[in-house]
Amino acid sequence: MPINHLRTILDKLPSSCILCDNRGIVNQDICSYCLAALLKNKVCCYQCGIALEQLTNSRVCGDCQSRPPAFERSYAPFIYHGAMRYLISTLKFNNHYKNARLLGQLLAETAPKTELPQCIIPIPLHKSRYRQRGFNQCIEIAKTVSKQLQIPVDNSLCIRHKNTPHQIGLAMKERRKNVKNAFSMIKKPDYDHIAILDDVMTTGSTMREIAAVFQKSGVSKIDVWVCARA
């Protein structure tokens, strides 16, 4: 069944919690108990979203201070652990499409309501990975965020021309090498302010790489929106 048809069916079903099968919060597939149990990323670097033991005066971690990324700020409301890890991994690797709607809802609720970007850019998949998986989970999450915040999604600007191996298990240095020159622009963006959206940010190597490509193409303000931070 095409994903768009499946999304239409899912949107009409009564909400029940994906994690425990109890009745969900109105229009959300999660119950209040499971929502409260998700680990929040409260104390984190303003720029890359990595969790910190305590905030510094600059609110920026040492890595961002020594190697400033092209993006200005990250919004990563949850820690990639437990139930949040389950929601993301089963969407990506087990085709649990219903998770995309919930993840999009949770991200939209925590996203800033002022200085909204002009568009959302989902991280692109390489065409071979897309054929293998059958969908791009970032696009599916972005559709819900777009609907709730009334921000358009634009996946026509950038492609992933390098078929990079999975980042799972790679050290930071290997991850940086893995995604080096992985993205390229196919047309010049007509935006000053964008949000690049991904499901999870681990070391930030992928986000740094694609943000640098957009910055070089003339985008002056780049935010990062991710469901969770590892």
Q: Is the pLDDT of residue 102 over 70?
A: yes
pLDDT at residue number 167: 65
Q: What percent of the chain has pLDDT over 70?
A: 90
Given pLDDT bands bounded at 50, 70 and 90, which one contains residue 161? very high
Can you give the length of the chain in residues?
230
| Domain CATH for 217 | 3.40.50
Residue 25 carries which side chain, given as an amino acid letter?
I
Residue 134: inside a domain, yes or no? yes
Residue 21: inside a domain, yes or no? no
Residue 6: inside a domain, yes or no? no
Domain region containing 165: 40-229
pLDDT at residue number 9: 53
The count of domains in the chain is: 1
The residue with tokens 């510094």 is: 56
Encode pLDDT of 3-45 as tens digits. 565 555 555 566 899 999 999 998 899 999 999 999 999 999 9
Residue 34: inside a domain, yes or no? no
Residue 23: inside a domain, yes or no? no
**CB neighbours (10 Å) of residue 4?**
9
Q: Classify residue 97 by its DSSP letter.
A: T
Q: What is the mean pLDDT of the chain?
A: 92
Residues of 119-134 as b/e, b for ≥16 C-beta within 10 angstroms? Answer: bbbbbbbeeeeeeeee
Residue 84: inside a domain, yes or no? yes
Question: Per-residue pLDDT averaged across 199-224, rounded?
Answer: 97
Encode pLDDT of 104-157 as tens digits. 999 999 898 889 999 999 999 999 999 999 999 999 999 999 999 999 999 999
183 alpha carbon, distance to own chain's centre: 17
Residue 75: inside a domain, yes or no? yes
Q: Record the pTM.
A: 0.90
Q: What is the Cβ-side half-sphere exposure of residue 75, based on CA atoms within 13 angstroms? A: 18
Choice between 176 and 90, residue whose per-residue pLDDT is larger:
90
**CB neighbours (10 Å) of residue 51?**
16
